[in-house]
């Protein structure tokens, strides 16, 4: 608790980790200095395929080996002993991702050779000297052709069809695209590694999943897990882009072993855009049927996923994350879902904020607006008539999901009130016939599955000086874990937040960890921290009873304003501090430390909300200005409201950016034409208004503390809200749909097509 007696949880406390980040003192992978016994650290640069598909006839690295500073080079011919593809998902077993390809390269930017040199400049220069003999081949890029030619085994599902269910007054059939995006973190991929004298491998990397990376390396290199130590220092953003480890990262330990020295790689931005995993790449064919009074009766979702050249995490998302929540926030009795993942000659797809959920909600919410237009009803009214009610929670979806407690209708009413929906409709009616600048209003009701199963490990230790150390297997990339975990533990232990140190992001300090993926950390690691701290308190109470010669039932934790520790109930003078108990137990069976692995046992939560946007569209240029944005979000109990708000702000910005133009583009030959931030339209601050946020908090029954996720909520809700607003702005001109992204060109073309 705070000195005033208020709980730490629920307080908008400043993040303790921010001082190092904003002063430049935080150490990222690129900041950490390495050296072996001779003081030599080498740098790695990669030779990449310039074609979307090519036969490898030969690679001559000798000219590079003769260059100044070059230590060595490798091609696939040098690596017969390395197992290929063990770092991919099970669906990729019939086409494992090679560390280096032997015969063909399958996407532009795929690594085909590696150079090791004394400096990054010498390594980059040597890459240009490698002579490669490639024969360009015809790439597979069209998704319909890929369905016939190269579907991914094990990544397709289909629920039974019932055509009779779709016999209705209104039947909307719509194809919608959710194009590829890049997670585009500030820090691209980076890694350093070395082998010690005991044959143990040490890795420092910007990764969202240190333990998962360790496990993959253990399989690939045939090592026990405890012989590999992976740590993630400060990480400059992940957003899903650092979930899947790449061929480059799996090759690095072999380079360090082969050349007997530490090696490091700092990726360039152009390399990131050419070869890092991308996200989305999904096509939806949706059928939504219902009555003329605006009530839904049946939904069919057919999803076609571009998995890229080698199946990775992306191909598993539709079945794992889209299917359970195919009906979104709506009570629809009959729901059909089918998905097929295909392989194309593009980079593999993996995760990005809202992976598997944001595209589904974007497509569904756009279709709901189409349904409302066909029914001649206001989009708000259609949602009112179909949202799942609180008394239906927990709600079992027709496709196998189970929604936890929420109040979707109340969130809708909060959103339209905060937006002043009627006022903007009146303004729109008065404005949209007068000039080139027209107004549109859009909203989206969203929910999304978080956690995805599994759990997380945490431990809490009381130190001899009375402070506490919290260790978790989760890993922060700017999430504020150090503050959040300290708030949770501090309330349980009765310690001030400044007395609690949080350690995470290393396989050396804790045995297991899933990492920060799927908006799961608070619901897994946070609960584990709470439970571990509670176990420490119980152990402390027993030790205090012995120390004070009192019954355990008479021992209570000291309140605010007192020295942290225990006293006899009703007799505060008879006290013993945490420091005393920890010192007495040091090195004995009475040490004050407890750990727990908290397993959700499949109890996923579905944070939810309603986002609403007002936009202005210039019909002469297609330019869009977002005038107002309201976000009503149910994230359950908020441990630190300021951190939650920050998560929402970032997610909303990402969602708006996708709607306005953030997409990976390829030329007809399959080569990326968005190769850097000059080409890739990443969102910028001038595109966003201030966000009006409204907090709701319906506790979840899926965990004892009622926590829900929040890291991806902003993205899931913002994209369809702005998309609907843009279409609404030009609907009076005959435009009923615009494909994402709603760039000025796409908007202008839609207006011209509508006449």
- Domains recognised in the chain with CATH numbers: 32-138+186-237+242-275 (3.90.1170.50), 140-182+278-387 (3.30.365.10), 402-448+606-755 (3.30.365.10), 452-599 (3.30.365.10)
**Placement of tokens 């496990």 in the chain:** 215
For 601-623, the DSSP string reads TT-----EEEEEEEEEEETTT--
Q: H-type helices in 438-503, by residue range?
A: 481-493
pTM: 0.96
pLDDT of residue 34: 84
Over residues 327-354, the mean pLDDT reads: 97
pLDDT of residue 591: 85
Over residues 730-748, the mean pLDDT reads: 98
How many angstroms separate the CA atoms of 621 and 182, rounded?
26
In Å, how far are 305, 610, 631, 649 from 715, measured between CA atoms?
Answer: 19, 12, 11, 9
How many angstroms separate the CA atoms of 319 and 546, rounded?
55
How many angstroms separate the CA atoms of 420 and 87, rounded?
50
The residues that bridge with 395 in the sheet, in sequence order, are: 403
Question: What number of CA atoms fall less than 13 Å from residue 316's CA on the CB side?
Answer: 13
Residue 4 has pLDDT above 80, yes or no: no
- Cβ(548)–Cβ(562) below 8 Å: no
In Å, how far are 6, 116, 185, 687 from 69, measured between CA atoms?
Answer: 61, 9, 31, 46
Question: What number of CA atoms fall less than 13 Å from residue 259's CA on the CB side?
Answer: 26
- Cβ(367)–Cβ(330) below 8 Å: no
How many angstroms separate the CA atoms of 450 and 447, rounded?
10
For the chain, the average pLDDT equals 95
pLDDT of residue 577: 95
- Cβ(276)–Cβ(387) below 8 Å: no
394-420 pLDDT, tens digit each = 999 999 999 999 999 999 999 999 999
pLDDT of residue 154: 84
The residues that bridge with 204 in the sheet, in sequence order, are: 192, 231
In Å, how far are 257, 398, 608 from 716, measured between CA atoms?
Answer: 44, 21, 9
The pair of three-digit structure tokens given for residue 27, joined into one six-digit string: 């150490």
Residue 3 has pLDDT above 70, yes or no: no
If we measure between CA atoms, which residue out of 324, 296, 458 comes closest to residue 402?
324
Q: Is 196 helix (H, G, I), strand (E, B) or coil?
A: coil
If we measure between CA atoms, which residue out of 334, 342, 188 comes closest to residue 265?
188
- Cβ(524)–Cβ(516) below 8 Å: no
Q: H-type helices in 635-712, by residue range?
A: 641-660
- Cβ(166)–Cβ(160) below 8 Å: no
If we measure between CA atoms, which residue out of 663, 604, 606 comes closest to residue 635?
606
287-326 pLDDT, tens digit each = 999 999 999 999 999 999 999 999 999 999 999 999 999 9
State the greatest distance between any 2 C-alpha atoms of the chain, in Å, as a whole number.
89
The residues that bridge with 157 in the sheet, in sequence order, are: 339
């Amino acid at each position: 608790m705070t000195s005033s007696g208020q709980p730490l949880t629920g307080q908008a406390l400043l993040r303790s980790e921010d001082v190092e980040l904003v002063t430049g003192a935080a150490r990222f992978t690129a900041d950490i200095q390495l050296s072996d016994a001779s003081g030599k650290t080498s740098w790695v640069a990669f030779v990449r395929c310039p074609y979307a598909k090519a036969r490898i006839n030969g690679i001559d690295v000798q000219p590079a080996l003769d260059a100044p500073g070059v230590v060595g080079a490798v091609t696939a011919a040098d690596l017969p002993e390395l197992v290929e593809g063990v770092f991919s998902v099970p669906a990729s077993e019939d086409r494992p991702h090679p560390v280096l390809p032997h015969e063909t390269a399958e996407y532009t930017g795929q690594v085909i050779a590696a150079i090791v040199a004394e400096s990054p400049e010498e390594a980059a220069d040597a890459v240009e000297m490698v002579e490669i003999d490639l024969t360009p081949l015809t790439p597979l890029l069209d998704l319909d052709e890929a369905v016939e030619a190269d579907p991914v085994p094990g990544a397709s599902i289909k629920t039974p069809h019932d055509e009779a269910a779709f016999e209705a007054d209104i039947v909307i059939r719509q194809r919608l695209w959710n194009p590829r995006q890049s997670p585009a973190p500030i820090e691209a991929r980076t890694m350093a590694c070395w082998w010690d004298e005991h044959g143990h491998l040490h890795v420092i990397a910007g990764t969202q999943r240190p333990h998962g990376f360790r496990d993959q390396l253990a399989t690939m290199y045939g090592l026990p897990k405890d012989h590999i130590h992976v740590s993630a220092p400060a990480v400059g953003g992940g957003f899903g882009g650092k979930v899947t480890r790449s061929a480059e990262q799996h090759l690095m330990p072999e380079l360090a072993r082969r050349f007997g020295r530490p090696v490091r790689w700092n990726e360039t931005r152009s390399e990131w855009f050419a070869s890092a995993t991308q996200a989305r790449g999904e096509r939806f064919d949706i059928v939504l049927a219902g009555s003329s009074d605006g009530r839904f009766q049946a939904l069919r979702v057919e999803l076609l996923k571009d998995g890229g050249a080698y199946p990775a995490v992306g191909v598993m998302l539709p079945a794992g994350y889209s299917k359970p929540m195919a009906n979104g926030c709506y009570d629809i009795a009959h729901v059909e879902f089918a998905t097929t993942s295909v392989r194309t000659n593009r980079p593999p797809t993996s995760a990005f904020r809202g992976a598997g959920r944001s595209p589904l909600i974007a497509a569904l919410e756009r279709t709901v607006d189409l349904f409302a237009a066909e029914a001649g009803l206001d989009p708000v009214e259609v949602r009112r008539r179909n949202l799942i009610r609180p008394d239906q929670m927990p709600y079992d979806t027709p496709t196998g999901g189970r929604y936890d407690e929420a109040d979707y209708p109340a969130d809708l009413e909060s959103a339209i009130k905060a937006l002043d929906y009627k006022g903007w409709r009146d303004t729109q009616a008065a404005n949209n016939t007068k000039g080139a600048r027209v107004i549109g209003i859009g909203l989206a009701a969203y929910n999304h599955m978080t956690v995805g199963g599994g759990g997380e490990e945490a431990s809490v230790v009381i130190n001899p000086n009375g402070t506490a150390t919290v260790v978790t297997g989760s890993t922060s990339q700017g999430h504020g874990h150090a503050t959040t975990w300290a708030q949770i533990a501090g309330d349980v232990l009765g310690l001030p937040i400044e007395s609690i140190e949080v350690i995470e992001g290393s396989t050396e300090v804790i045995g297991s960890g899933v990492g920060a993926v799927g908006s799961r950390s608070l619901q897994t690691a946070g609960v584990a921290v709470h439970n571990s701290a509670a176990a420490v308190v119980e152990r402390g109470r027993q030790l205090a009873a012995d120390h004070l010669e009192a019954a355990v039932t008479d021992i209570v934790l000291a309140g605010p304003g007192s020295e942290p520790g225990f006293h006899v109930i009703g007799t505060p003078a008879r006290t013993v501090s945490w420091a005393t108990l920890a010192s007495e137990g040091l090195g004995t069976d009475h040490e004050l430390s407890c750990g727990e692995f908290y397993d959700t046992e499949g109890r996923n939560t579905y944070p939810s909300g309603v986002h609403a946007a007002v936009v202005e569209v210039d019909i002469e240029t297609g330019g869009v200005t977002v005038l107002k944005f309201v976000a009503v979000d149910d994230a359950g109990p908020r441990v630190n409201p300021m951190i939650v708000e920050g998560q929402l702000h970032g997610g909303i910005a990402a969602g708006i950016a996708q709607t306005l133009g953030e997409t990976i583009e390829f030329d007809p030959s399959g080569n990326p034409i968005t190769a850097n931030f000059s080409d890739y339209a990443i969102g910028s601050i001038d595109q966003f208004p201030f966000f009006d946020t409204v907090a709701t908090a319906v506790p979840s029954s899926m965990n004892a503390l009622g926590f829900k996720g929040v890291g991806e909520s902003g993205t899931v809700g913002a994209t369809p809200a702005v998309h609907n607003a843009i279409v609404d702005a030009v609907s009076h001109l005959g435009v009923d749909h615009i494909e994402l992204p709603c760039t000025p060109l796409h908007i202008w073309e839609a207006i011209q097509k509508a006449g």
